[in-house]
Structure 1
Amino acid sequence: MNMSWDHRMGRSRRRAAALTLLVVVCLFNIVGYLVYVQRQFYRESTQNLLETYEQVNKTFTVFAQRNWNVLSEWGNSLQEEADETAIRASLRHFNREKTTWRYSELYLFNESSQYLKATGESGEAQELWGAFAATYATGRSSVSSYVIGTGERRVVFTVPIRPVEVSGVTYTCIAVSYDNATLEEMIGGHAYNGQSDCYIIYPDGSVMLSEEPKSEIESWMTNLFDFLEKNAKVDADSFAVMRENVRSGGSGSTGYRYGGKGYYLVYQPVGFQDLTIVGIVERDVVDAGMRKIQKVTILLLLFLMGSVAVAMVRSVKLDAALEMEEKENALRTEALERRKLEGLANTDGLTGLLNERCFNSTLKQKEEARQPFALFYLDLDRFKPVNDTYGHDVGDQLLRAVADRLRSCVRSSDFAFRIGGDEFALIVNGEVDADGCAQRVETIKSVIRQPYVLDGRTIGIGTSCGSACYPADRADVRNIRILADHRMYEDKQKQGSSRRQSFALE
């Protein structure tokens, strides 16, 4: 009997030791998993941020080039005028575009800091010289900024012209200035639903302009490097690398803490004047979806560890067959939960459409397989007024209704995504020609603009849509995405212009 007791005690001790070892191994794996996931979060999140702000950068570059092109045309036109009266008349004529372009001032300038506004006002303003220094130093078009007396930033697009004389004063530059707040509204991408900061800075960190509404950093900030150095907790080595990369025109990312929160910061060159675009987003905003999955995974691991521990304790009384059955059940449960997690990772929680993570993965897979497809980028028009007027609940209902309609626009073999906010994308498999794309764009826009009845209210919205075909339009999916987004922006601009024209006719 003692031998039987000793045998049972020995077996119990062995099982307890095995259980203890299992707990230690599981905890070690969980810690390793957390470290690995944290690194993956940073790598994937910063890469996605770089791609997001590349689109914002593209929008700014297009906007700057359009301003320079118009100013060049106006400057050449002034050369053809015969006298001072004709020049002033031309300036007044050009200034009629102020409502369309939404600039603050149109004026001529010279190296003596003398100016002539399109309204006829003239004078001397030494404080403006800094905004024109780059143009006179290089003889090329440039963009710069200055701060007016109220503390507001003005952004100036300048173009050198052949000398024009008015009232005995010779002017050699034409320029338009914008309120920074107006530029934020016109070209800001409102990335991550406005929960981000986006700046264009000089090599020394001075802010030239902001492209997103301020959400995290105080509006008085004029030099990003000085602000971070004085107010944020940032790794000294990564901060030094960022300074050097910005000076040399490089790109990269870093992280910092400010106000008890963690932030991602990414930067990349604009492409002219040694300017750099910087995007800043709170980590929880970027990682929210992935962190939910991480928490669920850890809970599942703990659940599985507890299940195995219970199975080991019960195995003292159960035979080998029952023990094997319990293990098989645990494995089936793990497989089922894994499939659920995979579904959660690729699904937008609000609309049930596929999410941006799945969108990026699908594009990558199709590029690797060289499978042709058509990409449609959509951005809802007039959604924000609906949200502001009726509240987020109605806004969420509207997004779900839009998602249902988008599903009807594609086949079961195609894909529908919600990229974020009121942005959506469709991938139609197979080769689609330009006429087919144009026809489908009109179909999509027609379906979306049909009235919605939500909570007894009839609501009308529209959508801007751009398309691109792979590989017909571009040989890689990154440029396909940029092209579709650019065409969507052109469609939005075109619709805005059409509405303005219709208002003018009325």
Structure 2
Amino acid sequence: MALVLLMTVSIFFYALYIRQQIYYEGTRAMLETYEQVNKTFTMFAQRNWNVLTDWGGYLRKRAAPETATQWRDFEEEKKTWNYSDFYMANENGDYWTVDGREGLGSENIQAVFTALQAAGEPIVSSYTATSGIRKVVFAVPVEPITMSGVTYTSLAVSYDNDTIEEMIGGRAYGGRSDCYIIYPNGDIMLSEEPKSEIMAWMENLFDYLETNTEVNETCLREMQEQTLQGGSGSVPYRFKGRNYYLVYQPVGFQDLTIVGIVERNVVDAGMRKVQCVTIFLLAFLALAMVAALVRSIKMDLRFVLAEQEEAFHRESTERQKMEDLANTDGLTGLSNERFFNATLQKKEKAGEPFALFYLDLDSFKPVNDTYGHDVGDQLLKAVARRLRSCVRSTDYAFRIGGDEFALIVNGALSEEFCAKRTERIKNVLTQPFVINGQELHIGTSCGSALYPADSTEVKDIRILADQRMYEDKAHKPGRQGR
């Protein structure tokens, strides 16, 4: 009986320990997942701000009548950009849109331009239109532009929230997740992914959790404090009889925080299965030991140890499988951004030389728009197969996100090698693709950098390769559809 009691208590505490470890590993994986969504959103915001700034300088160089003509021509960009409205505005609330609307904006849109004037730098904000549709706005201050006797000092582009969700949502965890970007007080600025069990829209996340869920009060208060200080963490709660994990981390600008919510079973079902198998095996061994003592049967301790070793080996194998899945892009089979970051850190720590190539597909978005996302996904898979042919088995190919890829070629290489390899990559990807009987043509913009020849800091190598990629794109005639 003493042995039974001892084994029961041991299994109980082991189960508690494993439960804590599963929570830790699950929330850590979620933070890494939503860090990628966060990076996608940040890049999207930066690109909007960059284009708005470029257009502001372009308009300012035009003569007054020509400015109005060029301004109206921007409406053609709507087909590529998928924006809702494009504004020119000033601190008085006067605005002019590319579709010809002008005058004083509504109170909601005026609040965006007021915030822009107060910040004096590019911002992202949101408001509810008179139609009731949530809009997300990217705005930048520009040098004064005069049209029809009115001087404007800012440019802004707005998107429907659903459009942003489609463009950068990522659909983490197979769409069975909620993702929000919130202000420090909990007000929601943007929802990025499909909803699971939570209502389609809410005004304040903190109020909703406190009112509608069974949430850990201490964790919720800590989250409220951390979002004010730009911190990160996790909050467990129950909703409609189900357990959920919530993680949060700073976006990196305007004191915004990205929040990811996923049902517990979606995150750690595999780990919990391993836990149940392990506990079952431990319980079985305990009963076997008791039966052996009662019946005075000699136990083969080597058999017990072998069984334990097998159980732990299965657990280790399962963990390795989960690690492999976490490092692989689910669509193309290439390594994902998580493994990309880990590989760069490992090489920097070891001081191993390599060449980094950043790639961005040209004319990919028109394929999606014309033939649908299924054809777009098949095209991405075909691109991945061709990229594998551009590197050795000892090198690496990654899908960073969307239609962006990266290659790491090992060894102390030269700029001449990078130029030839870039040309090879472009030649490979410009060859026609045949998908579902359709001949598709795309290209790529590519930038490269050498470590440690260009810099001894990996972060600088990434920035340099990214800049060279955009320089490559900028030198191409016309704008490339994404």
TM over 0.5: yes
Q: Which runs of 5+ in 2 are unaligned?
A: none
Partner in structure 2 of residue 347 of structure 1: 324
Secondary structure in 1 matching 2:324: coil
**Residues 196, 282 of structure 1: 8 Å contact kept:** yes
Deviates more, 1:365-374 or 1:128-137: 365-374
String of CA shifts for 1:114-137, please: whole Å, max 9, x gaps. Answer: 333344443333433212112333
Q: Structure 1 residues 34, 75: closer, same or farther in 2, change over 3 A?
A: same
Matches within 5 A, 1:177-188: 177-188=158-169
Deviates more, 1:164-173 or 1:114-123: 164-173
Counterpart pick for 2:211 among 224, 227, 230 = 230
Whether 2:59 is the aligned partner of 1:70: answer: no
Counterpart CA distance in 2 for 1:451 and 1:414 is 25
Whether 2:256 is the aligned partner of 1:276: answer: yes
Distance apart, 1:73 and its partner CA:
0.8
Counterpart CA distance in 2 for 1:178 and 1:131 is 14
Q: Structure 1 residues 473, 75: closer, same or farther in 2, change over 3 A?
A: same
Aligned residue type for 1:202: Y
Counterpart CA distance in 2 for 1:387 and 1:119 is 28
Secondary structure in 1 matching 2:246: strand
Aligned residue type for 2:83: Y
Aligned residue type for 1:330: E
Distance apart, 1:212 and its partner CA:
3.8
**Residues 253, 264 of structure 1: 8 Å contact kept:** yes
Counterpart CA distance in 2 for 1:307 and 1:475 is 54
Q: Which runs of 5+ in 1 are unaligned?
A: 1-15, 502-506
Aligned residue type for 1:347: D
Partner in structure 2 of residue 264 of structure 1: 246
Partner in structure 2 of residue 176 of structure 1: 157
Q: Structure 1 residues 228, 300: closer, same or farther in 2, change over 3 A?
A: closer
Counterpart CA distance in 2 for 1:495 and 1:294 is 52
Counterpart CA distance in 2 for 1:267 and 1:336 is 35
**Residues 22, 272 of structure 2: 8 Å contact kept:** no
Distance apart, 1:107 and its partner CA:
3.9
Partner in structure 1 of residue 69 of structure 2: 89
Partner in structure 1 of residue 93 of structure 2: 113
Secondary structure in 2 matching 1:266: strand
Counterpart CA distance in 1 for 2:61 and 2:150 is 18
**Residues 184, 257 of structure 2: 8 Å contact kept:** no
Counterpart CA distance in 1 for 2:121 and 2:472 is 30
Counterpart pick for 1:299 among 277, 294, 315 = 277
Secondary structure in 1 matching 2:202: coil
Deviates more, 1:190-199 or 1:358-367: 358-367
Q: Structure 1 residues 408, 199: closer, same or farther in 2, change over 3 A?
A: same
Aligned residue type for 1:124: L
Distance apart, 1:152 and its partner CA:
1.0
Counterpart pick for 2:83 among 103, 108, 114 = 103
Matches within 5 A, 1:400-411: 411=392
Partner in structure 1 of residue 314 of structure 2: 337
**Residues 140, 159 of structure 1: 8 Å contact kept:** yes
Q: Structure 1 residues 164, 58: closer, same or farther in 2, change over 3 A?
A: closer
Aligned length: 470
Aligned residue type for 1:333: E
Whether 2:125 is the aligned partner of 1:144: answer: yes
Counterpart CA distance in 2 for 1:426 and 1:359 is 9
Partner in structure 1 of residue 111 of structure 2: 130
Aligned residue type for 1:33: Y
String of CA shifts for 1:46-94, please: whole Å, max 9, x gaps. Answer: 541453244134313422421441243145225xx2x5x3442232344
Partner in structure 2 of residue 240 of structure 1: 221
Counterpart pick for 2:21 among 23, 30, 37 = 37
Distance apart, 1:224 and its partner CA:
2.9
Q: Structure 1 residues 222, 88: closer, same or farther in 2, change over 3 A?
A: same
Distance apart, 1:238 and its partner CA:
2.8
Counterpart CA distance in 2 for 1:146 and 1:331 is 59
**Residues 88, 120 of structure 1: 8 Å contact kept:** no
Distance apart, 1:353 and its partner CA:
7.5
Q: Structure 1 residues 189, 250: closer, same or farther in 2, change over 3 A?
A: same
Counterpart CA distance in 2 for 1:300 and 1:21 is 19
Q: TM-score, normalised by structure 2?
A: 0.73
Aligned residue type for 1:106: F
Counterpart CA distance in 2 for 1:214 and 1:412 is 40
Aligned residue type for 1:278: I
Counterpart CA distance in 1 for 2:245 and 2:192 is 18
Counterpart pick for 2:188 among 190, 207, 213 = 207
Secondary structure in 2 matching 1:346: helix
**Residues 415, 427 of structure 1: 8 Å contact kept:** yes
Aligned residue type for 1:155: V
Secondary structure in 1 matching 2:132: coil
Counterpart CA distance in 1 for 2:261 and 2:471 is 27
Counterpart CA distance in 2 for 1:174 and 1:358 is 38
Percent identity between matched residues is 40
**Residues 160, 174 of structure 1: 8 Å contact kept:** yes
Q: Structure 1 residues 229, 474: closer, same or farther in 2, change over 3 A?
A: farther
Distance apart, 1:103 and its partner CA:
3.1
Distance apart, 1:160 and its partner CA:
4.2
Counterpart CA distance in 1 for 2:441 and 2:471 is 18
Distance apart, 1:268 and its partner CA:
0.3
**Residues 346, 357 of structure 1: 8 Å contact kept:** no
Counterpart pick for 1:287 among 251, 255, 267 = 267
Counterpart CA distance in 2 for 1:301 and 1:484 is 49
String of CA shifts for 1:231-262, please: whole Å, max 9, x gaps. Answer: 33333333233333333444444343334341
**Residues 84, 157 of structure 2: 8 Å contact kept:** yes
Counterpart CA distance in 2 for 1:311 and 1:443 is 66
**Residues 416, 425 of structure 1: 8 Å contact kept:** yes
Q: Structure 1 residues 299, 187: closer, same or farther in 2, change over 3 A?
A: closer
Secondary structure in 2 matching 1:177: strand
Counterpart CA distance in 2 for 1:285 and 1:421 is 27
Secondary structure in 1 matching 2:61: helix
**Residues 374, 428 of structure 1: 8 Å contact kept:** yes
Q: TM-score, normalised by structure 1?
A: 0.70
Partner in structure 2 of residue 218 of structure 1: 199
Deviates more, 1:251-260 or 1:412-421: 412-421
Counterpart CA distance in 2 for 1:29 and 1:161 is 62
Counterpart CA distance in 2 for 1:238 and 1:423 is 37
